[in-house]
A and B are shown apart, each in its own frame.
Chain A
């Protein structure tokens, strides 16, 4: 694409060629990403000034709250008209259902229409262990332990059969995904099905839960020792010397210096701004609507039990 190439060269000329926002981090430098998350969050709802002196009204944290509005960075798959139509459809859906801010590690309850369920409605509570893809295909996995059996449900965020998405606990974890909970002890992915939502203060920083999970002994589903996981305490306990040596051999410490790889894996900051400028007003209205609803809910009298 000529446009992206032009943007790259322009930014090179300006001398800020490396000021890129990483939306999908790679494993090798997960630490830096979490650090940058923490750095950005305090400036959450404060609008920041742009280089030309005017104040940008688009909050800086939109790329973390609404990551699915950014298209797939693969150049061969991009098309501006398709992306625009997709964003319009996403906003249309968001006017019908409140899709809250959530992250990998948050605890969610999803109520969806199910033609096979008893009352044609099913509700599932679990911890979000994975969130991937973009646009209308965005999806996430909820995991819970039910009757001593690990259960995972993969939902599509924009599926019109989803009736309600509630965030019961809003928090982040140390890793980009929690797929290793499949190999961890069951208490780490057990969530109470009747859990009450925990309300965070408005404008509060999303807390990072630095809990370290304990893995079960091998065999594992993946080679967790090679993935530089921050949220696991005992990877070293179960691997042999040979596996340890191989993990070191498979490390790619140079990838964090690979600017081209980073460029290909991300949407440049200028394009992100364009995209969020397009959807900002509608998203902002939806946020105001949500706040109003929340206030209404807080005045509801508690119902008398028994």
Chain B
């Protein structure tokens, strides 16, 4: 109102060039946070009052006709790796050291020890790659995210959208199901994006499995840590607390002093204090893959401190640690039929050379010569 009045008045003036100062908050109200296009409402509001049991069975039949049998039957993938690859529009390119490959979406399914051939015990975490499919590839020209991931030279990289865990589409919204239309795969419960170099692009609809990595490779595993809620300093930062008795009153698990006086008489930034613990994204870097099971799509990864609870979702990447990066060509852009054969040689279980296979004889040490 005021603005239009000023403009109108300025038109009445004789001076031809007019600079009208408009001091409004318009530049602040524009949306700064624009989510990626695949952030749409997933769950549909269930209105089952009008749906009869016959309708339901009919829906299930339609789903089965369209997408085939369920992707996982008792944890084992039911589909053929080569069946869904559309090779006619796809040309494989050679791997080079600067190439960024796609990663995988997995579930942390637990942990148990393995033993090395020198008798040493290692703790491993089992990650199951859950029914991953490529949903879409966005080339570098089109990929301009509002929230830029911290990747150097982002404009050189494209984005690969990967989905994990098929779900019944009748429980999802139309918009969400629409995301999967081009790829031809069943809608997925989880979506993740991977920043990849254009050479590593994979056509939509390609299944990804655990053979994407080899035994002995190093991976970074990213997950959301266990949520502990608001915690005190003893649990959150491992403070010692104070004695339980000997005249101590009301200060058993308190932090004590939090700063000095005088010139530094304030609470310094970064002081360890109570607060929310866990529920953060964390990356366990440079973890070696000790063993791979291609039947169940499981990999055994070094360490028992992989972020997240058991049965929680994690993302697996090639490691960024410079000394542990791939020295030789990994399956590029992902493992297809021939790589799968080369990796397994017909076996389900692939063990790293240092790891003791439980099918082998007991470990013995040779007595010293002298």
A residues at B contact (CB < 8 Å): 76-86, 89-90, 92-93, 95-97, 113-115, 119-121, 135-137, 156, 158-163
Contacts and interface: CB of A to CB of B under 8 A. Distances in A.
B115 A161 contact: yes
B113 interface: yes
Given A80-B75, A82-B126, A160 B363 contact: yes
B366 interface: yes
Given A76-B309, A85-B298, A161 B113 contact: no
A113 B75 contact: no
Contact of B119 (A86, A115, A158): A115
Contact of A97 (B109, B121, B310, B362): B362
B296 interface: yes
A158 B362 CA distance: 10
Nearest to B361: A96
Contacts of B356: 160
A48 B38 CA distance: 57
B312 to A, nearest CB: 10
B364 A163 contact: yes
Q: Which 9 A-B pairs have the closest CB atoms?
A: A82-B110, A92-B358, A120-B365, A79-B109, A82-B109, A81-B75, A161-B119, A93-B358, A136-B112
Nearest to B111: A82
A16 B293 CA distance: 40
Nearest to B123: A137
Contact of B367 (A97, A120, A160): A120
B365 A115 contact: yes
B359 interface: yes
A79 B110 contact: yes
Contacts of B362: 96-97, 113, 160-163
23 contacts: A76-B310, A77-B110, A78-B310, A79-B311, A86-B110, A95-B359, A96-B359, A113-B365, A119-B367, A120-B365, A137-B112, A137-B113, A158-B358, A159-B115, A159-B121, A160-B356, A160-B362, A161-B115, A161-B362, A161-B363, A162-B362, A163-B362, A163-B364
A114 B115 CA distance: 14
A20 to B, nearest CB: 24
A5 to B, nearest CB: 16
A156 B311 CA distance: 26
A79 B112 contact: no
A85 B110 CA distance: 11
A120 B369 CA distance: 12
Contacts of B121: 156, 159
Contacts of B115: 159-161
B294 interface: no
A184 B274 CA distance: 45
B296 A81 contact: yes
Contacts, number: 82
B132 interface: no
A154 B359 CA distance: 24
Contacts of B141: none
Nearest to B72: A81
A110 B311 CA distance: 37
A84 to B, nearest CB: 8
B75 A86 contact: no
Contacts of A137: 112-113
A89 B367 CA distance: 29
B279 to A, nearest CB: 16
Contacts of A119: 367
B209 interface: no
A160 B358 contact: yes
Contacts of B197: none
Contacts of A161: 115, 119, 362-363
A36 B356 CA distance: 40
Nearest to A115: B365
Contacts of A113: 119, 362-365
A3 to B, nearest CB: 13
A95 B361 CA distance: 9
A123 to B, nearest CB: 14
B225 interface: no
Interface string B340-367: 0000000000000000111111111111
Contact of A85 (B296, B311, B361): B296
Nearest to B364: A113
Given A84-B296, A93-B358, 9 more contacts: A82-B110, A82-B126, A85-B126, A89-B112, A113-B362, A119-B367, A120-B366, A136-B113, A161-B362
A82 B110 CA distance: 6
Nearest to B310: A77
B167 to A, nearest CB: 16
B310 A85 contact: no
Nearest to B296: A81
Contacts of A136: 112-113
B78 to A, nearest CB: 15
A82 B106 CA distance: 13
